[in-house]
Structure formats: C-alpha cells, structure tokens
Structure 1
Amino acid sequence: MYEGEIKTLKVEDLAHGGDGVARTEAGIAVFIPLTIPGDLIRAKITKLKKNYAFATLLEIIEAGEGRKEPPCPVYEDCGGCQLQHLEYKKELELKNNNIEQLLKRIAGIEQYKRNKVLAADDQFRYRNKAQFPLSIDEKGKIKAGFYKRGSHQLVPYHDCLIQHPLINRILKASLAELNKREISIYNEEKGKGLLRHLVIRVGICTNQALLIFVTNKEEFAAKREIAAKVMAAVPELKGVIQNINSKNTNVIFGDKDITISGYSYIKEYINQTAYLISARSFFQVNTLQAEKLYNKVLDYLGDNEEQNIVDAFSGTGSIALYIADKAAKVFAIESLKSAVEDGEKNAELNEIKNIKFVNGLVEDKLAKILNEEKIDSIIFDPPRKGLADETITLLNELEIEKIIYISCNPATQARDLKKLKEKYELLEIQGVDMFPQTYHIESAALLELK
C-alpha cells in the first residue's frame, strides 16, 4: 500500500474520533472520515504509518445501515460535527459500543452493569456555549466558524445547527458591527492582531446571553460602541465582556476579564437549582442533558444524607449545589478563582450553607481534605486529560468508600479505572449523550471499595 493509492474498502467499525475504520487484506487499519460501519467505499490513501493509514472518501459504492444525508451545508468541510451522516439511533448504539470497547481494551474490565446511553431530547440547537475562531475573507470581511477537519483553516458559517439559535443571532449581530470598523484579527503564526475569538454563552432556561470578545491586548477602541449596538440588536444579551489573552497559546481565555457593558454573568437553571455563570466558568454545554447526568449522580450517592462528599473539579459548583441536600457537607475543589467566586454566589443564591469552596488544584487540595475530614464519597469531573497520577495514588492509599467518576473522554476514564481496579470495583457505567452529532460522549462510572 502507498500514499495516493485508490482502494475499495468495507468499513467495519467507528473509531473514538468519529472516523470509520476499514481493514486492508493485510490487516492494516484505515481511518476514513464521513463513513459508517457497513459502508462499501472507494478511498484514497493520504497518510501511511507502520500499522495504520488514513484515507479520504471518494465514493460510496454501497451505504451502510443508518446512513443519512447531513442537514448542514458545510458539514463535510467543518470539523464541528462528525456524525451528522448517521441516524441518531445508530449514533447511540455506536457510542454505547465505544464506551464498552474502551473499558475492555484499555482498562481490561468487562464485568459491570451496562446502561444504555441516555439519549438527548434535542439532537440539534442544544449547545449553550460557542467559541468561534475568526478570519478575514477575500473581501476583507471578518468571518467566524469552525476549523476544517484536521487543520486550522476556518470554515465560515454563521448558522451552526448544534448551537442554540440565540448564539447564532448574537454572532451575526456582532460580526455586522465589527465589520463596520477597521479591527485586526489575531494571526497565530505572527502573534499579532487584536481580536482572537468570539465566545457566546446562553442560558437555555432563562434565554439570557453573555458575549465575550477575546483580545490580544487591552486597548480596543470601539468596544463600548460595539457592545451597545449588539445589545440593542439582541435584547436577550445581558452583558458584554472583554477577556485579554496576550500569550502565544491555543488556550482560548486569558486571565483578565473587563465588563464592557451590562452584567458580568447570566443566570441558568438545572432543574430547580439556579446558577450564575460568568465568562470563563465551567458549565456543561448541554443544560437539559446535564440534568439527566446529575440525577444519575444523585442515584449513585444513595439516600445517606449524613455523608461527607468531595466534588473535585467543581467549576461553578454545578454538581455540588445540585447534590447538597444529599450530604452533611460538600467540599468543592476548583482551580479557577472566578469559578469559585461564582460557586459561592450560587450557594448564596440557592440558600445552601453546607458547601465549602476550595480554590486550588485537585492534586494539591484533595490530600489535605482527606487527611482532615472523614469523606464518604468523591465525585470527579476532570478535564479531558483525566486524573493526575498523584490523585490516583492517593485514592488507592486512603481507600474512599465510593467514587463517582464523570468524564467527557472515555479513553482517559478507562485508563484511570485500570489504575484503580485493584482497590475499587466498577459497579456500573452510564453514558449520557451531551453532544449529539459528534463523537463525544459523557460517561459516569460508579466505583466502590472492594
């Protein structure tokens, strides 16, 4: 096999990143975007490695079961979604299978209660947050969109089908105002230019929104006028923030926020729990599915209202607040100071008094809490990279009765469960589809001390 070769392949499986997987006569795995299991295709080999290869789809000779026409006009170029060409029922089946296969292959765990992935009621228009990179088109106009698959080439599109409609309205109004002025767009390679990203957050239950301009420097001459115009055009927009990020990095936010106009936060609800959300606070992107996830956490915690619980990587305290009445005391650990401040405001807003918010890294703060307090259960909801080795070592040494491990990356979750399985038994795992039309899946695992 060689790069540029045209091959006829039968797609057998779906990889974690959403690509179809076929195998050559020699058993080499070939990853092909925009394909599904059952597809018979012609594909061109684009990259060849020792044990696997990548290819682009040229022709579908015979469609696999569950293939459909994607509704988005830029879907084949844009990297925002990966599974719009797949019927939703089939998408859920493949996500279920993905969780099971990762646990088997990475963690070596096969004995546990398997629950079907909790489907989303809304398969489109569900995202409450969008982070838009920007570029200048051939006419000199500022455009927003998402990066083309596997690149930093922008695919401009201003009516994304998985974003809440209010996000798209604010995006269009913002671009209209920005394009009335001479505003430079940040160039990653040169490290120059003013505007880096537009970030928009929406309260699904409250219909409130926050707009954040991420800039390379603080000086932004027309910002107050732009904010006033966009807020006038979109009455649901409650605040406009400037975030300053002068670092040469692919991390979106910097450390400084300036309120340009209106409020610095929006209000949102999960069930009856209220939340104030600021520019950089972590909050689940699918509000309605978050309620299903948090109800599962309540189920895992059981009925012991005298237990002490740690909510590690707590963000704005979304889980801590939701489960507070199931505990004597909750310790919420979060590294971002502004999120901790939001969490404290949220506790006051909900008249909850049994949460102690701790600002710092989980790796640093968890040991101190476990040494000073009797903790019955720990809830982890870490970033995609999973848990630090020192945290896993600590759990194995101190032997906590119950661990609930929530993850948006089942691969790193499986890796961490492998390291915990000598001391802890995986009783149950629950997938929650927070991200329809994409390969991403949230999963909650219940572990108990052996």
Structure 2
Amino acid sequence: MKFEKNEIVTVTIEDIGNEGEGIGRVNGFTLFVKDAVVGDTVEARIVKNKKTYAYGRLEKVLVPSPFRVEPKCAWHRQCGGCQLQACSYERQLIFKQDKIRSCLIRIGGFAPEQVDACMEPIVGMEDPFRYRNKAQYPVGTDRDGNVVAGFYAARTHNIIAHTDCWLGPVENETILNCILEYMRDYKVSAYDENTGTGLVRHILIRKGFASGEIMVCLVINAKKAFQIFPDQDALLEKLTAIEGMTSVSVSLNPEQTNVIMGKEIYTLWGKDTISDTIRVRDMTQTGFPLTGKELTFAISPLSFYQVNPVQTEKLYSLALEYAGLTGQETVWDLYCGIGTISLFLAGNAGRVYGVEVIPQAIEDARKNAERNGIENAAFFVGKAEDVLQEIYEGGMADNDERMLHPDVIVVDPPRKGCDSVCLEVMLKMRPERIVYVSCDPATLARDLKVLCGDGYALERVRGVDQFGGTVHVETVVSIQRKTS
C-alpha cells in the first residue's frame, strides 16, 4: 500500500524511533510520525513517501497515550530540541535504556542475553528541566525587521523567537532580553547568513551551577574586539546588574560558516573564566550520596564541559567506579577536554595521562590540575590516535613501560566515536580494562564490536540521562581483557 501525499490516515503508535518519532503501521506499511507518543492513536498527514515506509505530520491526537503529558514549552514541536517532551519522563528512560540495548545487539553484534547480563538500570534525573549550564542562541531578524533570538526550527536555520527555554536556567531569559533591548535601542544589527552582513551572530551563556557564576559571550561578525558596540558601557551596565554575572566577552567570527564560535575571544568585563565544582558520588548506594571529594574547574567560552552538572557528577563517578582503581594504576584518558575525568581518576590512580587535540583545553587541564593540587596527572596535545601511536612506538615513553601498557584506558570521544587507528593502538597496549564513555549508542556499539572482537569482553553497561526531554543519552561501559 502506498499513500498519497497529504492523505490523512489514522494510526496507532506502537514504538519510538531513534530520533523520538512515533512508529505505527497502516495495512502493514510503516509510518513515522514526529511528535506522536507511543500508545497514541492519531491522525497524521502524509508528507513523504518511500518504497516501504512513509513520514507523517501529527494533525490530531484521537486517543492519547497513557504516557502522554502536557509539555511545559509551547514551542517544543517547532523547535525540535526536546523531541520527547510530550512523553512522560518514566517512559523516556525506558526508551533510552532500550536504545542502548538495541544498538549493542544490532550494531555491536552482542547476544541479547549477554547485553542483559551486563546492563544496569539507567540513572535518571530528579527534575528533567532547567538542567543545562550552557546554551548558544542564534540572533537574527523576523519578517518585520525586529531583532530576535531563540533556537533554530528543526532541520532549518529559521529562528524561533523564544527566550525562555525550559532546559536552561531562568537567568537566560533575563540576559537575552537585556541584549535584545540594547540592540534595539542602539540600532545594533543582527547577522544575516544570506548576505554575511550584520554584527551579532550568537549569544553564548554559561552558568556554574555550584558557583552561581555566569558568563556571556557575544559572537560577532567582526575582525576587531573593542569599541565594536555603540555606547558599549550601556550594554555592560545592563549585563553586570544581573546577579552572578562574572564574565562578558566577545568571540570574533567574520567567516561565512556554520561554526558558531570564532578562534579569538576577548574579555570586555570581569574574568576570562567562570568556575564550577563537580563532586564524587557513591554510585553503589541508593540516592547516590556525595562522598565529600570535589574538584573545581575553570571554564572558558571554548571549554568542553558537560552541560548537565548534576548528572555529570553521576556520569564521572560511574566511570571512576567502572575503572576499578586501587591507587597504583597507570591510566590513559583519551579525548580528555579540560581534564574533568582525568582529575577524577587521578585521586584513585598512581598516574594519569590525558590527551586532547585542542591546545587551549590542555592548557586549561594543566591549570585545573594545579588548582586542585593534583600532581600525578600529565597532559598531551594532539589527536588521540597520533599521541598513542607515537607513545607506543617509543618516541615519547622515556622507557616507562607502564605508559606503553597501562592498567586502564578511559575514552570519552565526540559523537562520531573513536578513530580506527586509536582503537588499533589501544588494542596493542592491552590494558586490563577499558572504560568507554559515550554520547552516541550507535558509535559506541560500533567501536565495542572492534574492541571485543580482539581480546575483550563486555563487563558492565549503564546509561546516564544527561539530556531529559531529548532522545540523547550518555552511556558508560567497562570491558575486561580476557585471560589467555
């Protein structure tokens, strides 16, 4: 059966796709319906036909699912950032647990019974809103020429004028409105992607949840930093009146590109960084109580720092637990960023080596080690695969056999996963255990298939919900080297 475009069909949603879309069947034909919740019976308008399936747009909910809830955000369908906001949080967690399991079986090639034996319950949030400590808002103009800020509509660069995202702290709305009011009052232009003209491109806001410190960085279409804004003091007066404001800066990005941040950043007021604290939690106890250990990090506009601080404590504590350290081990931390996981590990290891390709991040990592009084961590700049390969070939090891054959390797790669050469060198190093922290279950499963196909066995798997309301999920996995 093939549908006609714009045809209205009735369908019961039986499953959830990887991107959060509802999946149903009509006369054996699969239909994907965005914004439909598993258990719904809906009317959907056909928008695209394929040979064996079709896509529909939700027109009307005829019978609501028992899992359907009233979304907090009126723009959740247009924005596309919170694909699951209409679904109860309990059902979101089931979806994410199933997503991890399915990827390990379907992509990783692991047997279902093997995955089920290793999987632990997903770590959820007490309140899945107001959790993001970082947001990047595009700035533009509406049809009437008014300056607006918000988020891009799903799969477009059309800005939805919306300043109160339910995932970010309440201060974000005040900050955005201050900047927009200033831009209107002083005729400051917004960037136009089509022409490459206009000044303000994006507004980056970061908040240290533990410190209460706030950073604002305006990304501007300019080659110089100072006296760009008319009556700059008026802008700073508005922003610095906001409680917690610690840093105001500009990022220069004159390139016609989709990359948000420029390479040069200049502080206009306050500090260059803000600080935040991450504490170790006991993941073996109900409620995950704090252990009393804590680390403080300096965060710049370009720093990679997990966006959900409450869940990050659980994520990193889980990685520390999975590493199984006793205080004597040599550990490599690949894709280490500003040293967050490295410094967590250092408190329980003999020696930790971190690797990151961004020089500024490594500089921050070294400063963070010094800030926290940690002396048993060293950091290398470069691609993980390049640094490991050079170490393994003997060019940098200084005859330290434990660098070549560490006890534990921890990896926390970007969404694309590990480079194939990196996996190859990790296998040559033959650590007793590898702990893999992943933001994408699909690339995680792909890489685990390689590692577990050459001498390692799946040991423990646990999801951590860092991104309530969305389809994304973090996963921590430990794999153990098989005995000869």
TM-score class, shorter-chain normalisation, is over 0.9
Whole-Å Cα distance in 1 between the matches of residues 370 and 429 of structure 2? 32
Cα distance in 2 for partners of 1:351, 1:224 equals 39
Q: Which runs of 4+ in 1 moved over 4 A?
A: none
How far does residue 393 in structure 1 lie from its aligned partner after superposition?
Answer: 2.2
After alignment, is 415-424 or 345-354 more displaced?
415-424
Paired position in structure 2 for 1:186: 191
Match of 1:369 among 391, 398, 416: 391
Partner of 1:175: 180
1:19 deviation in Å?
1.0
Among residues 119, 144, 150, which one is paired with 2:149 in the alignment? 144
Query: Which of 422, 444, 451 pairs up with 1:391?
Result: 422
Q: Which residue of the partner structure matches residue 37 of structure 1? A: 38
Distance 1:362 1:432 in 2: 25
Displacement after TM superposition at 1:167 (Å): 2.4
TM superposition score normalised by structure 1:
0.96
* Secondary structure at 1:107 match in 2: coil
| Cα distance between partner residues in 2 of 1:182 and 1:367 | 54
CA contact (8 A) 2:385 2:425 kept: no
Q: Name the SS of the counterpart of 1:326 in structure 2.
A: coil
User: Which structure: larger Rg?
Assistant: 2
Contact kept in structure 1, 2:406 and 2:429, CA below 8 Å: no
In structure 1, give the amino acid aligned to 2:263: D
Evaluate the alpha carbon distance shift between residue 79 and residue 222 of structure 1 in structure 2; reply closer, same or farther with a 3 A threshold.
farther
C-alpha deviation, 1:290, in angstroms: 0.4
Amino acid at match of 1:309: V
- Could you tell me which amino acid in structure 2 is paired with residue 306 of structure 1? Q
| Matched position secondary structure for 2:69 | coil
1:291 is displaced (CA, Å) by 0.4
Written as runs of structure 1 = structure 2, the 5 A alignment for 1:231-380 is: 231-271=239-279, 272-371=294-393, 372=397, 373=403, 374-380=405-411
Superposition RMSD in Å: 1.6
Distance 1:72 1:436 in 2: 13
- Report the Cα distance in structure 2 between the residues aligned to 1:365 and 1:43, rounded to whole angstroms: 52
Conserved 8 A contact 2:410-2:434:
yes
Identify which of 185, 200, 205 aligns with 1:200. Answer: 205
Which residue is 1:132 aligned to? 137
Other-structure match for 2:282: none
- Could you list the runs of 5+ residues in structure 1 that have no partner in the other structure? none
Structure 2 residue identity aligned to 1:429:
V
Unaligned runs of 5+ in 2: 280-293, 398-402
1:145-160 mapped onto 2 (5 Å cutoff)? 145-160=150-165
Paired position in structure 2 for 1:76: 77
Cα 1:60–1:449 change in 2 (3 A) is: same
User: What amino acid is the match of 2:23?
Assistant: V
Match of 2:467 among 435, 444, 449: 435
Post-superposition shift, 1:392? 1.8
- Secondary structure of 1:358's match? strand
Deviations 1:121-172 (A, max 9, x none): 2211110000101121244332111111222211111111110122232222
Aligned to 1:5: 7
Q: Does 1:107 align with 2:115?
A: no
Residue 19 of structure 1 aligns with an amino acid whose one-letter code is E
Cα distance, 1:282 vs structure 2: 0.2
Shift of 1:370: 4.1
Distance 1:381 1:190 in 2: 38
Secondary structure, aligned partner of 1:10: strand
- Contact 1:173/1:233 (8 A) holds in 2: no
Query: What is the TM-score normalised by the length of structure 2?
Result: 0.89
* CA deviations over 1:349-381 (Å, ceiling 9, x no partner): 101011111111112112223453131111111
How far apart are residue 280 of structure 1 and its match? 0.5
| Number of corresponding residues | 449
